[in-house]
Structure formats: structure tokens, C-alpha cells
Amino acid sequence: MRHRLWAVAGGAAALTLLTATGAHAEGEGDIRVTKTVVNKGGNVIIGTAKTVTYPIAVTVKDDSGVKKITDLFTFNRTNGYGFITWDGDSSCVKKSATTSVCTGTMTVDPAWIADSDDIDSNKVAGVWRVDATVAANDGDYWISDDIAEYKVKRAAQLTTDATPEPVAKGAQLTVKGKLSRANWEDLKYHGYPGQAVKLQFRAAGAAHYRTVKTVKTDNVGRLSTKVTATSAGSWRWYFPGTTTTSLKVSVGDAVKLR
């Protein structure tokens, strides 16, 4: 079964923003989309197994009052491919006599992804856009193109292992790890090479981690570096993410001094 979505409209903003006046749109009457918020302003992160759902909240205005969303589409703004479906329903919360916020739920099962396009599905990660058609109580409708922009990202995994444990004060500690990300073609995690990852340390009893150095992953996503152990505490790796891959922070590895 193919889950590719073709848009009938589109528009722009950035994560939470949209104005109908800035988007190509057409329809009948005075109904307009005035704002769109995708996933409460956050990125959409998709791995290899878990079904992901998220809301798209569209603020709509019409002098007769708002009825519903009749179509809701989302897809990669560069190549036009999409694998996320709308359930066909929307719930509208009335904010005034003329304005309502209508929300549609979007769903993706990673098992759908490889069948949704004829390219490497991983290239569909990145910046996506939203198109919608909305309807008013008096029969007015509006097809709004590019009403919001957000990021759909491949999920990342990150590990940390510090040795030896415990370590003598002033001795060398080796901190290793591996950065991987979801491959939507084979539904497995593969090492992510050439990425800058921060090594962070939190001394025992301290509230926050601090960055010690930045290390690049090797050709299979591995990390390794040496540091001098000056106090007991926890070590972790921090990957800030990219346009196509999610931010990830590893679980800290606590190391005691001997």
C-alpha cells in the first residue's frame, strides 16, 4: 500500500507560524487560516518501529463561524514526498463567534515509509510543509498552501562507556560511545559518521553538565577520546542534531575515583 500524499495547497512560516496572506490560497468567501501550530511547536521524530502521532492545530476565521478542516496534507517541501497520513477528522474549539482552532491528528507507522516513494526514503527527512482546506458554517471554503513549516527527523541513538571504573585521580579515562540514526529503508539503526558530538561531564553533587570537548564520529559512528580524571562524576555524549536527525543525549556513565 502506498502512503504518498500529494498536496492541493501550501504555505510558510516556521514551526508555529502561518498567515494566509503570505501563502498561495484560493477558495470562496471570507474564511481564512490565520495561524498553524505543528506538534505544539516541536520537531516530529520518527524511528524504526513505533507509530508516531502528532497534532496540527489550525486557527480559522469566518464571519459565520468555523465548521471544520476538510483536507490536511503534509510533505517534504523540497522533493514533494510524504508518508504521514491524516485520520480525516478534526476537532474544533471555538475561541469567539468568528474564530476556532481546528486540530487534525497525523499518523505514521515506520513500516509504511519505504513504500511511500521511489527514492531513498531517508531523503524525505528535513523541512516539511502543511497544506489545508477549511470550511465555514455558511459554505465558504479556503484552500491554503504552505501554511506552516516544520521538521521531520530521523530518530538518533547515542551510547556512553567510560573506562576504567573506578579510576585513579589524575589518571587517563577513556570515554567511548556510538551515534546511530534510524534508516527508514531497512528499519534499522546505522552509525552516523562525521558528526560533531560534545563530551560532557557533571561532577558528583553538581546540578548541571558542562562541555569538556567536541569529538567527531568515525566512519561507522563511533566516538572515543581520553580525558584526565580529576573528580568523581558522570560522563555523557551530547549530539545537537541536524536538519534531518534528532537531538540526542546519552545516559550518563558515573565514574568513581579510587
Residues 6+ apart with CB under 8 A from 200: 209, 210, 211, 212, 235, 236, 237, 238
Element holding 231 (H helix, E strand): none
Tell me the average pLDDT across 179-191: 98
User: pLDDT class for 26, splitting at 50, 70, 90?
Assistant: confident
Is residue 31 scored above 60 in pLDDT? yes
| pLDDT of residue 15 exceeding 80 | no
What confidence score (pLDDT) does residue 12 get? Answer: 28
Q: What is the pLDDT of residue 175?
A: 98
> For 44-102, how does the pLDDT look when each residue is reduced to its tens digit (9 = 90+)?
999 999 999 999 999 999 999 999 999 999 999 999 999 999 999 999 999 999 999 99
Residue 241 has pLDDT above 70, yes or no: yes
Residue 27 to residue 141: CA distance in whole angstroms: 6
**Helix, strand, coil % (nearest 5) of the chain?**
5, 55, 40
Taking the CB of residue 79, how many other CB atoms lie within 10 A of it? 12
- In whole numbers, what is the pLDDT of the chain averaged over residues? 91
* pLDDT at position 21: 36
- Long-range Cβ pairs for the range 183-186 (8 Å, 24+): 183/48, 183/122, 183/154, 184/46, 184/48, 184/110, 184/113, 184/114, 184/121, 184/122, 184/124, 184/125, 184/154, 185/113, 185/114, 185/120, 185/121, 185/122, 186/114
State how beta strands 196-203 and 126-136 pair.
unpaired
Second-level CATH architecture of 20-154: Sandwich (2.60)
In the prediction, which pLDDT does 23 show? 53
Q: What is the pLDDT of residues 201-213, one digit of tens each?
A: 999 999 999 999 9
CA nearest neighbour of 254 among 170, 173, 197, 156: 173
User: What separation in angstroms does the CA of 150 have from each of 127, 198, 249?
Assistant: 6, 25, 22
Prediction pTM value: 0.88
Quick: pLDDT tens for 117-169. Answer: 999 999 999 999 999 999 999 999 999 999 999 999 999 999 999 999 999 99
pLDDT at 22 over 60: no
**What mean pLDDT is predicted for residues 224-247?**
98
Which pLDDT score is estimated for 8?
A: 30
Confidence of residue 24 (pLDDT cuts 50, 70, 90): low
Q: What is the average pLDDT across 27-41?
A: 96
Q: How confident is the model at residue 227 (pLDDT cuts 50, 70, 90)?
A: very high
Sort residue 123 into left (φ over 0), alpha (ψ -120 to 50) or beta: alpha
Percent over 90 (pLDDT), the chain: 90
Residue 7 has pLDDT above 50, yes or no: no
Nearest Cα residue to 85 out of 60, 112, 65: 112
How far are the Cα atoms of 115, 118, 217 from residue 3, in angstroms, in the given order?
7, 12, 34
**Rounded (10°) CA dihedral 130, 135, 105, 38:** 40
In the chain, list all ranges with CATH 2.60.40.730.
Answer: 156-255
Instruction: Determine whether domain 156-255 maps to CATH 2.60.40.730.
Output: yes
Distance CA 166, CA 28 (A): 72
